Amino acid sequence: MLPFILLGVLQGLTEFLPISSSGHLALAEQLFGIHKPGIVFDIFVHFGTVLSVLWVFRGRIFRLVRAPVRGGEDLRVLGMLVMGSLPTGILGLALNSVAEAAFARSWAVGLGLLLTASALFFVERLSSPKTKSLEQLSWRDALWVGLAQGIAVLPGISRSGSTIAMGLFLGLRREDAAEFSFLLFIPAVVGATLLKLGEALSDPAAHSALWGSYLAGTVVAFLSGVIAIRFLLGFVRERRLTPFAIYCYVIGLLAVLWRIAR
């Protein structure tokens, strides 16, 4: 059960910190010979991370659920989430095979991390004001953030890092850029899960001895996800994302050099 718990913690933390969960999992598999227990476990831990977003933003999400009836600014935010999910879905499907091939190549993961680092480093050095609230997001802004999330299907490119960086580039306030990134995560993961659900449930008997381990991984993914979200929300409100950029530069460079040295 311990490997499932460790993978759940890794997934929960790196999914929301701008350091790429897919990149870390890919490098862990290649460097230490760690293998994820398959697509069913992926679905479980991603469900745990979705629950962490639902919990942290439960007030906002409750208002979004009621928005079609009550209208107002929350209905506009809901529309922006729908708009941002469209390019995410299209790019996710288009790049899926490329992403699966890149997952097994440390140099490709390293390049993805270097791109993440560059995006974080660049956006923090822009002098443009970041005063736009989430309710002021335009449909063009939402599309750009959705495109950034779609590209993040490639391992090493952080989903949260790319979407937060794009939000800041478009002038969103720091906490609003992070909140939109986390809210946009929900339809992306739910959509991807529905696409893979048939494959995951094709042979349930093969997982009969692992349901307890899957549940443990889900719980720790939820708890570590809550910690990561709250930490990052407080961090981006007061500080720059440069430390995460430096971290991604170092890990990305080491991944590329490791491939060259092999």
Residue 206: how many CA atoms within 13 Å on its side-chain side? 10
CB 45 within 8 Å of CB 216: no
Phi, psi for residue 20 in degrees, rounded to 5 = 75, 105
- Top pLDDT among 33 and 239 is at 239
What is the average per-residue pLDDT within 184-211? 72
> What is the DSSP annotation of 32-80?
H------HHHHHHHHHHHHHHHHHHTHHHHHHHHHHHHH-SHHHHHHHH
pLDDT for residue 38: 62
Residue range 148-177, pLDDT digits in tens:
999 999 989 999 999 999 999 999 999 999
pLDDT for residue 199: 61
Nearest to 50 by CA among 40, 61, 39, 38: 61
| 235 DSSP β-pair partners | none
User: Based on the number of CB atoms within 10 Å of its own CB, is 32 exposed (0-12), middle (13-18) or buried (19 or more)?
Assistant: exposed
For 48, the domain range is 2-261
pTM above 0.85, yes or no: yes
- Top pLDDT among 262 and 126 is at 126
What is the number of structural domains in the chain? 1
